[in-house]
């Protein structure tokens, strides 16, 4: 059974409100549910209720949504986990990312490829790069992320298993990304508006195949047994996802 230790992350929940905290034995949490001494948690298992607080081990989603500092529109977990699936990321995969942003998708791809894999990510804006670097250093686990504060102009010896693009005009880097991935490799991108889809599709007419466009919507429900119904708010459109694969033409 995994127990809570000093300097570990915990998820506190009070009446549906969630708090991600890194505990220190000599500190306390002061909330509307009262005071909770972190020292009292040391050695106890995750998944317990103390007073009005529920204490859980944070999930990857908890860290992305509550822990990572955002300076850009993040790729939400409803997209990022699907992106990792569609890019066929697995233990040991090498993946290229153009457009680190806040590093949320970078963090999830890092988990998908594991300590044996590698995520190489490029972010041109220095402010976003610094923020993403702090996020990855604070919450990353395996040192398998390589961050570059520069415009993507190719990567020597790339031979990546997959790639993802999250920049304003993904078609401007598409050919360079294509050169950096293996044959048949999946490539994904995200754009916020429908007219950007058209521009991207034009750029994909040659050298790419198995192209698909989609968006993901999630509607949560209130968990009250006597009156189950949709919640009053939902995270609906956050971006259109485009997936394609590198395609080469051969004679014969």
Domain boundaries, the chain: 9-58, 64-246
125 and 99 Cβ atoms separated by less than 8 Å: no
| CA 23 to chain centroid | 24
Q: Backbone phi, then psi, for 126, in 5-degree steps?
A: -65, -40
pLDDT of residue 252: 65
Determine the topology of domain 64-246 in CATH: Rossmann fold (3.40.50)
* Predicted confidence (pLDDT) per residue in 210-233, tens digit: 999 999 999 999 999 999 999 998
* Predicted confidence (pLDDT) per residue in 68-126, tens digit: 998 877 788 899 999 999 999 999 999 999 999 999 999 999 999 999 999 999 999 99
Residues 187, 188, 189: CA angle, nearest 5 degrees? 135
pLDDT of 161 above 90: yes
pLDDT confidence bin for 236, thresholds 50/70/90: confident
Domains 9-58 and 64-246 share a fold: no
pLDDT confidence bin for 190, thresholds 50/70/90: very high
CATH no. of 9-58: 3.10.330.20
CA dist 73 and 99 (Å) reads 12
CA dist 158 and 174 (Å) reads 14
pLDDT of residue 44: 96
CA dist 109 and 140 (Å) reads 11
Closest to 208 in 3D by CA, of 240, 242, 241, 239? 242
pLDDT confidence bin for 249, thresholds 50/70/90: confident
92 and 131 Cβ atoms separated by less than 8 Å: no
208 and 169 Cβ atoms separated by less than 8 Å: no
The average pLDDT across 130-152 equals: 95
Distances (CA, A) of 141 to 25, 96, 230, 238, 243: 22, 19, 36, 27, 28
pLDDT of 151 above 80: yes
CA dist 191 and 188 (Å) reads 10
């Amino acid at each position: 059974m995994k127990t809570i230790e000093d300097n570990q992350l915990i998820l506190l929940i009070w009446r549906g409100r969630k708090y991600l905290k890194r505990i220190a034995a000599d500190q306390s949490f002061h909330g509307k549910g009262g005071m909770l001494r972190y020292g009292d948690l040391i050695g106890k298992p995750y998944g317990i209720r103390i007073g009005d607080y529920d204490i859980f081990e944070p999930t990857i989603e908890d860290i992305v949504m509550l822990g990572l500092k955002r300076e850009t529109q993040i790729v939400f977990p409803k997209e990022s986990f699907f992106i990792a699936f569609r890019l066929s990321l697995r233990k040991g995969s090498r993946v290229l990312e153009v457009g680190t942003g806040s590093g949320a998708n970078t963090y999830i791809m890092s988990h998908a490829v594991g300590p044996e894999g590698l995520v190489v990510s490029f972010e041109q804006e220095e402010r976003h790069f610094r923020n993403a670097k702090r996020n990855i250093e604070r919450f990353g686990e395996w040192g398998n992320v390589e961050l570059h504060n520069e415009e993507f102009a190719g990567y020597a010896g790339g031979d990546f298993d997959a790639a993802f693009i999250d920049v304003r005009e993904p078609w401007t880097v598409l050919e360079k990304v294509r050169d950096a991935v293996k044959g048949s490799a999946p490539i994904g991108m995200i754009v916020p508006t429908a007219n950007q889809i058209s521009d991207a599709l034009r750029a994909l007419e040659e050298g790419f195949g198995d192209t698909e466009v989609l968006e993901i919507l999630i509607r949560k429900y209130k968990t009250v047994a006597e009156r189950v119904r949709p919640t009053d708010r939902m995270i609906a459109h956050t971006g259109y996802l485009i997936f394609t694969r590198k395609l080469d033409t051969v004679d014969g």
